[in-house]
Chains A and B, each alone.
Chain A
Amino acid sequence: MAVSGVPAGFELRRMWTDERARSALFQVLVVLGLALLVAFFVSNTMANLQARGLEPGFGFFGDTAFFDINQKLIDYSSQSTFGRALVVGLLNTLLVSALGIISATVIGFTAGVLRLSNNWLVGRLITVYVEFTRNVPVLLQIIFWWSVLTGLPKVADSLSIGGALFLNNRGVRMPAPILENGFGWVVIFFALGVVATFFVGRWAHRRHMATGLPFPMLWVGLGLLILPALIVFIVSGQPLDWDMPERTRFNYRGGFNVTPELVALWWALSTYTGSFISEIVRAGILSVSKGQTEAAHALGLRPRLTMRKIIIPQALRVIIPPLTSQYLNLTKNSSLAIAIGYQDFVSIGNTVLNQSGQAIEVVGIWMVVYLSLSLATSAFMNWYNSHIALVDR
């Protein structure tokens, strides 16, 4: 940059007095120092690992794990590898994070709007919810909800809903669908419905913009999604069976079980993050000037439509950036799962670390995975933010 060409009459002294040269010099020194520090850490770690006879590397991924996991979204047994165990853990983390983000958003938006309500009781109730949940450490809330859920009726006294769904302190046991031959067609027609809904929606939006005529998109969309798939389902002889839960000596067997650990973690993260989101939403809505509401009312828009069409779109610009931070927090807080034994990425990583002894590698993977998850979430939210940004016309 500054030292592209040595000017005539160059003197070393001028390196110091020339501001650009000086700043370049300092930057080079800082980078060099940083590189040396990193090199020192790496070589020292390697030397210490070797001194202790530990072999750094990721070869242990292929070794047999020999331990079991209770919640697995993919096939896994104690004969699977450490690598697969980590993937099972990662999927469990993604599951609870995704569920948490969805419900926290719903809770947050609802609470944020309701807190501004003119109804005294509703406003106060939401205030109590927000102040309580966001001021109590989330770890305590997770343990609290886990205690509540394990205090549910024992297996022998399970609450039964229609003889198909069973609720007890080991979770919710529900029938699991078994897809039979021919169900593929139902899926195909559902997918076609999704595509059709998308195009009809686009057409309706254009027509609305051009002519101002409204279109009952909700009902048409639902019809397009469900009807073709339903007709195919009936015509092809209902190719779907249910794996019903069945009482055994200890537990219910069969069907699908949602563990109290998952529910406790999910619910605690949702309500905790939801309270922060509600404050963000409230701030966003209050940031839209009152003139906008008054103008909308003057045009004859009803309050609900004003909120949906005028306030929220403008408020979103204020809401999205801090909302991203909340999504990242929720994902990272899901690692508190270890406190109640939900087998997330950290929990399983911990077991892998302990059974294989590869501490540095596992901690490295933890960091890389959470960093990637956070960066991916940020990237998506930034894209969405720029998508909804006000366009200057």
Chain B
Amino acid sequence: MRSIKYLAAALVASATIGGASVGHAATLDDVRAAGILKCGINTGLPGFAYTDDAGNWTGFDVAFCKAVAAAALGDGNKVQYVNLTGANRFPALASGEIDVLSRNTTWTFSRDVDLGFTFVGVNYYDGQGFIGRKSLGIKSAKDLDGASVCIQTGTTTELNLADFFRVNKMTYEPVPIETNEEARVAYLAERCDVYTTDASGLAATKTTFENADDHMVFPEIISKEPLGPLVRQGDDQWADIARWTLNALINAEQYGVTQANVGRMMSGTDNPEVNRMLGNEGSLGAMLGLEKDWAVNVIKSVGNYGEIFERFLGTNTALGLKRGQNALYTQGGLLYAPPMR
């Protein structure tokens, strides 16, 4: 249903007001004029995008929305969240319904090149896995011949699934689902034997099961799923703002800038890299068309990458995810942000 609504919006937008806001270079000006950032997030995925006790959207993906709002508007709370399914997220971004999409979206060639979007980086290195009942008595995804598999439509996981079963010469019954919540319902009703999505999503979904111990995530990771935020192609300034917001979050972790100490560090440190990032030296903010203290606002608002990860996904949360590939390169992970100079 929602997807239809957004398609209609996409059509109307592309046909009418399109000339005014879509494909037009100055997204930053539009966001500033509106005084609010429209950010596309998941319809609900524990850890990544969910509502807290007070009913506010929060989570790992939501934090990136706040970071961009803090960079562009100086206030991380000036965000209007738009909840999107796997199928309607791209029309929503293409039509100008949202300014940035931060919805555990896999960076692929065709999405970057053919669909007309720009991925600004990777904020979570993931891979596709399977979750099933322990009572099935299987140990590996390669034993799934003949199984019914719940799958979110319009995702890369749908394509990987087809490849995986074809390559391993196995058959399966796909059970197509629109959202993670519907998949959960269908899986728990045993409409399908296993549910497949990104391993982080499986960990997140498993936390909502009543008897989580009866279920297991199979060891196979069948794909690369570099998840990251993206913007419309054609507005390099806006893409740069999103990209360097992400880089600032990662660099801040590397240089030990935290939500707690950023206020002190902005008045000057021994590290020129930190000084440039926080606007104490140089004019990086102005180069982006932003305030001098843009990165300070970002970190004040959400903390550095490591803080965000530990707050929503880390070992002290219900998800209990280890940093793994998502640790800094200095700690054996893949996160490596270019220097800020």
A residues with a Cβ closer than 8 A to B are: 41, 44-45, 47-49, 51-54, 66-70, 77-79, 139, 150-151, 154-155, 169-170, 248-251, 253, 260, 338-339, 341, 343, 346-347, 350-351, 353-355, 357, 359-360, 363
B14 touches A45 (CB 8 A): yes
When distances are taken between beta carbons in the complex, the residues of chain A under 8 Å from B110 are 357
Subset of 13 A-B contacts with CB under 8 Å:
A44-B14, A47-B18, A48-B23, A67-B158, A67-B159, A250-B146, A341-B182, A346-B4, A347-B176, A350-B3, A351-B176, A354-B87, A354-B154
Chain A nearest Cβ from B292, distance in angstroms = 33
Contact status of A249 and B158, CB under 8 A, knowing A338-B1, A341-B177:
no
Residue of A nearest to B172 (CB): A68
Residue of B nearest to A77 (CB): B166
Q: Of residues 162 to 219 in B, which have CB atoms within 8 Å of A's CB atoms?
A: 162-163, 165-166, 172-178, 182, 186, 189-191, 193
B260 contacts the other chain (CB 8 A): no
When distances are taken between beta carbons in the complex, the residues of chain A under 8 Å from B189 are 150-151, 169
When distances are taken between beta carbons in the complex, the residues of chain B under 8 Å from A52 are 22-23, 94, 116, 232-234
Q: Of residues 1 to 58 in B, which have CB atoms within 8 Å of A's CB atoms?
A: 1, 3-4, 7, 10-11, 14-16, 18-19, 22-23
B7 touches A359 (CB 8 A): yes
Q: Provide the bound-state CA to CA distance between A355 and B166, in Å.
A: 19
Residue of B nearest to A257 (CB): B173
When distances are taken between beta carbons in the complex, the residues of chain A under 8 Å from B165 are 68
A250 touches B148 (CB 8 A): yes
B86 contacts the other chain (CB 8 A): yes
**Mostly helix, strand, loop or mixed at chain B's interface?**
mixed
Q: Provide the bound-state CA to CA distance between A154 and B86, in Å.
A: 29
When distances are taken between beta carbons in the complex, the residues of chain A under 8 Å from B182 are 341
Residue of A nearest to B150 (CB): A341
Chain B nearest Cβ from A73, distance in angstroms = 16
When distances are taken between beta carbons in the complex, the residues of chain A under 8 Å from B90 are 354, 357
When distances are taken between beta carbons in the complex, the residues of chain A under 8 Å from B18 are 44-45, 47-48
Q: B114-158, CB under 8 A of A: which get 1 and which 0? A: 111000000000000000000010100001111110000110001
When distances are taken between beta carbons in the complex, the residues of chain B under 8 Å from A341 are 153, 175-178, 182, 186
B116 touches A54 (CB 8 A): yes
Q: Which residue from B14, B114, B147, B166 sits with its C-beta under 8 Å from A49?
A: B14
A169 touches B190 (CB 8 A): yes
When distances are taken between beta carbons in the complex, the residues of chain B under 8 Å from A338 are 1, 3, 178
* Further 14 A-B residue pairs, CB within 8 A, beyond A347-B176, A354-B86, A363-B7: A44-B16, A44-B18, A45-B14, A45-B15, A48-B18, A54-B94, A54-B116, A66-B163, A68-B161, A170-B191, A250-B136, A341-B153, A357-B94, A357-B115
B191 touches A48 (CB 8 A): no
B91 contacts the other chain (CB 8 A): yes
Contact status of A250 and B177, CB under 8 A, knowing A44-B19, A170-B148, A354-B90:
no
Chain B nearest Cβ from A176, distance in angstroms = 15
B159 touches A150 (CB 8 A): no
A48 touches B146 (CB 8 A): no
Chain A nearest Cβ from B61, distance in angstroms = 19
When distances are taken between beta carbons in the complex, the residues of chain A under 8 Å from B176 are 70, 341, 343, 347, 351
A70 touches B175 (CB 8 A): yes
Chain B nearest Cβ from A42, distance in angstroms = 9
Q: Provide the bound-state CA to CA distance between A347 and B23, in Å.
A: 28
Q: Provide the bound-state CA to CA distance between A66 and B153, in Å.
A: 12
B158 touches A48 (CB 8 A): no
Q: Which residue from B87, B166, B174 sits with its C-beta under 8 Å from A69?
A: B174
Q: Which residue from A45, A47, A67, A350 sits with its C-beta under 8 Å from B162?
A: A67
Q: Which residue from A47, A251, A357 sits with its C-beta under 8 Å from B146?
A: A251
Q: Provide the bound-state CA to CA distance between A341 and B167, in Å.
A: 25
A351 touches B10 (CB 8 A): no
Residue of A nearest to B191 (CB): A150
Q: Provide the bound-state CA to CA distance between A196 and B136, in Å.
A: 56
Residue of A nearest to B135 (CB): A156
Chain B nearest Cβ from A278, distance in angstroms = 28
When distances are taken between beta carbons in the complex, the residues of chain A under 8 Å from B10 are 359
